Chains A and B, each alone.
Chain A
Amino acid sequence: MKRYSALALLKAGLTGQRGWEQAWRDPEPKKSYDIIIIGGGGHGLATAYYLAKVHGLRNIAVLEKGWIGGGNTGRNTTIVRSNYRQKPLHDLFDFALDLWEGMSDALNFNVMFSPRGALFLGHSDGDMTVLAQRGDALRCDGIDADLLTRAQVQKLVPLLDMAPDARFPIHGGLIQRRGGTARHDAVAWGYARAADALGVDVIQKCEVTGFAMTGGRVSGVATTRGPIAAGRVGICVAGNSGPVAAFAGLQLPIEAQTLQAFVTEPVKPMIDTVIMSQSLHCYISQSDKGGIVLGGDPDQFPSYAQRGLPPRIEKAAAEAIALVPALSRLRMVRCWAGTTDMSFDGSPILSALPVDGLYLNGGWCYGGFKATPASGWCYAHVLATGDTHPLAAPFAFDRFARGATIDEAGVGVLPQLR
């Protein structure tokens, strides 16, 4: 692999941009691999990269039914943060944030990680109490969190509607300054290129259609490009975990739902932080291209359609405009939808399954992108060693039967409650 560098860029610029090599190979599937990862999204490719980089394994394949990063990796709102209230979650996401900080260097690929701050707004005394509690919990675990006054919030985001009779009055906020955004496609491309350079086969247009079983153990996969044997198989297809696990006769505590996002026409810089809210479900950030990226609630009924309901977009837009009235002048240029794996407690599943040789990385609900490096790191650990990584231990498949759920939003352990 030729390294990308400022010098290489300059040289190519002077020689007509010729001589760039293909970023990763397009290999034919081999007959057999030590480890097969189903799903070439950010999580699957990160898993393959860390299997090669950290555990020194080489005989690995990532099987992707479409093209890499074409699923939820390319459909999220690119927000990266670790300020979750529950300890198992913020420990996992903060490990991810550490990896995000060094990712462009580690992969020799600019993932455009931009720690511009992730701000939660508080709109009432109740909101501020919850934000203060969360901030305390985070700081106790060494994670950065600053409670902001109303004046501090106003200074940070001058375009907010600060009127006392605003629809959502601003009482203050909680900011994680290390949080921000990253270029989501670049994450998939960077991991694919780095994994490929270490010998991993990234195989696109290869859909898994079943598992081969030998003596009750998974011994390979059936694919649209023929059978492939494997020592261990990791499912990493969030959005479609249910149908893939069903090939092994398993049912999961997961329902697929639609989550939408949309973007406005590009404008000059107007919002230089990520705006979220304790009471609303609306995310506002500005992409490097200038578009205002907005997201809202999931559609709250099961669907694989990858297209969402207009009322959800209307609601998110209405909330965004109430917070930042200037947004009302912008035109929406695109909206899209991804299929999320809604687990019943709002937390992921990162663990072995009750079928020997089969593992699951899924159930990321609406928050998988920010976890990409930690998810890959921990999944690689269990696939390489058979032992659960300590950070992933709380996210076991059997936690629901044991009553050890991790209720992300504190609302109860049923899918329709989140």
Chain B
Amino acid sequence: MLQIGCPFCGARAQSEFSYERTLDSIVTLEMPANEAVRRLYARANPRGFDEELWRHAFGCRQWLVLHRHRQTHEIASVAAFDPAHR
């Protein structure tokens, strides 16, 4: 199990968190249809690092951005999510 360093609560077990989606798959209402489809359904799905949105669902409930390696499970960084991010 991963240990995730929540910027608000400190190091916590993965079971408190839920994975939501990749950072590049956020869809906004004003987005053109083809861009929305791309963001909804196209994933790099790399065997390496990707930027992911997680939520501290059973903790402070904040949205977080994890820079995480999908094969080694190394977490390079955890940051609070900036709602202005597009």
Contacts and interface: CB of A to CB of B under 8 A. Distances in A.
Interface string A219-236: 000000000000000000
B37 interface: yes
Contacts of A254: 43, 45
Q: How large is the interface on B (under 10, 10 to 19, 20 to 34, 35 or more residues)?
A: 20 to 34
Interface in A9-24: none
A252 B43 contact: yes
A112 to B, nearest CB: 34
Interface string A249-272: 001111110000000000000000
A311 B43 contact: no
B44 A246 contact: yes
A303 B52 CA distance: 12
A413 B41 CA distance: 9
A344 B41 CA distance: 7
Given A302-B52, A400-B40, A246 B46 contact: yes
A303 B73 contact: yes
B28 interface: no
A309 B37 CA distance: 32
Q: Which of B40, B70, B72 has the most CB of A within 10 A?
A: B70
B19 interface: yes
Given A256-B70, A302-B50, A303-B70, A309 B45 contact: no
B42 A252 contact: yes
Contacts of B20: 416
Interface in B64-79: 70-73
B60 to A, nearest CB: 19
B1 interface: yes
Contact of A256 (B19, B21, B40, B45): B45
B3 interface: no
Contacts of A416: 18-21
Contact of B47 (A240, A252, A414, A415): A240
A179 interface: no
B42 A251 contact: yes
Contacts of A415: 21
Interface of A: 240-243, 246, 251-256, 300-305, 309-311, 344, 400-401, 413-416
24 contacts: A242-B44, A242-B46, A242-B47, A243-B45, A243-B46, A243-B47, A252-B42, A252-B43, A252-B45, A253-B42, A253-B43, A300-B18, A304-B47, A304-B70, A305-B71, A305-B72, A305-B73, A309-B15, A311-B1, A311-B15, A344-B41, A401-B41, A414-B21, A416-B20
